[in-house]
Amino acid sequence: MARVEIVRLEKSFDETEVVRGIDIDIPDGEFVVLVGPSGCGKSTLLRMIAGLESITDGEIRIGDKVVNDVAAKNRDIAMVFQNYALYPHMTVAENMSFALKLRGEPKATIEKAVKRASSILGLDELLQRYPKQLSGGQRQRVAMGRAIVRDPKVFLFDEPLSNLDAKLRVQMRSEIKELHQRLKTTTIYVTHDQIEAMTMADRIVVMQAGLVEQVGTPLELYDAPANVFVATFIGSPSMNLYNGTIENGEAGLVLRMDQGAVLPVPQDCPAVAGHKVVFGIRPEDILIADGPGVVARISTVEPTGAETLLLCKVGDITTVVISRTRPTVGPGDEIALSFPAERLHLFDQATGRRL
């Protein structure tokens, strides 16, 4: 187990900057998820931590030791890949013991380590099988077994669940989380799926275009996104966003939507009159008003059982409303929406930063 520090890390391929000065400090035993859209540099960052990609500038420290020039095999890390990367001509047991054999560990130690890992992951019955004889979930478990066997300082996961079907993904998600709670090894996990990030992480690092947009616990990111990008990226369905202007109302500041409606502003709003803002509200925070409110026309109703998703138009902006009350409305109906002031997120229109 070890602390991982990433200091002003940069990576360019020829002229293209992929990682543009990243600082992250991961304390010992933490489960950190790097999340962001495709091409944001998260996998490159992980590969740099693994030692599979050279570092253009900056520093990576694992357990207080700078590892910039340390080969992957000497960093004491283990990595689980998206397509499992199991050696196809080796049995499960051979796959899991390969690293220890190369390290020259005695046979008894290897057997013990493989046994321990296979019992943790429920692989005892499969040890003599070849990867092609396993299902996707089993292969993923073997890939994790291969990582556990080495008892590394840091676990790295590179989109390990992307190739699994939805049901298995949910199951493996909790298995990985349980595994971390049991082993308490520092873990860095890369995914583009924000639900995976929310459900698994101690802390999430949201990345975009080679930069860190925000670092925080899942709920910090959900409740107080630092900018418009994080606001839309975290949460599913994503936050509804509208443009508006802060104005002086009769009883203090108000928010005038570009669509015309006037809303109260949150109490601690630092904006001044005339400030152009983007404001957002989560679908589950919108209420269907009995009286006057923001007028919306329903285009689709999606009942999921526990809740109902209403897709509607406020002006020309698509708005998603999650209702737990099973409203009796249909497409084409007009409803009034209420946006509680304390649930609004305000961002500067020019910079996109949270106010």
Q: Which residues bind another protein (CB under 8 A)?
A: 47, 50-52, 71-73, 77-79, 81-83, 85-89, 98-99, 102-103, 125-126, 135, 137-138, 146, 150
Secondary structure (3-state) at 126: helix
Closer by beta carbon to another protein, 72 or else 211: 72
**8 A C-beta contact, residue 278 and residue 227:** no
Crossing angle of helices 136-149 and 107-121, in 10° steps, is 140
Closer by beta carbon to another protein, 165 or else 302: 165
Crossing angle of helices 92-103 and 107-121, in 10° steps, is 140
Closer by beta carbon to another protein, 135 or else 248: 135
Residues 6+ apart with CB under 8 A from 119: none
327 vs 324: CA distance, rounded Å: 8
| 251 to 45, 202, 243: CA distances (angstroms) | 50, 42, 22
As measured in angstroms, the least distance from the Cβ of 82 to another protein is: 7
3-state per-residue secondary structure call for 316-350: CEEEEEEECCCCCCCCCCEEEEECCHHHCEEEECC
As measured in angstroms, the least distance from the Cβ of 51 to another protein is: 8
As measured in angstroms, the least distance from the Cβ of 99 to another protein is: 4
175 vs 26: CA distance, rounded Å: 22
Tokens encoding 13: 């391929």
**8 A C-beta contact, residue 215 and residue 241:** no
Closer by beta carbon to another protein, 21 or else 137: 137
Closer by beta carbon to another protein, 144 or else 344: 144
As measured in angstroms, the least distance from the Cβ of 173 to another protein is: 18
As measured in angstroms, the least distance from the Cβ of 22 to another protein is: 21
As measured in angstroms, the least distance from the Cβ of 127 to another protein is: 11
Closer by beta carbon to another protein, 14 or else 268: 14
131 vs 135: CA distance, rounded Å: 8
- Sign (positive/negative) of CA torsion 214, 220, 221, 226? negative
Closer by beta carbon to another protein, 8 or else 73: 73
Angle at 218 between CA 213 and CA 221, to 5 degrees: 40
Closer by beta carbon to another protein, 128 or else 351: 128
As measured in angstroms, the least distance from the Cβ of 52 to another protein is: 5
As measured in angstroms, the least distance from the Cβ of 149 to another protein is: 10
296 vs 331: CA distance, rounded Å: 11
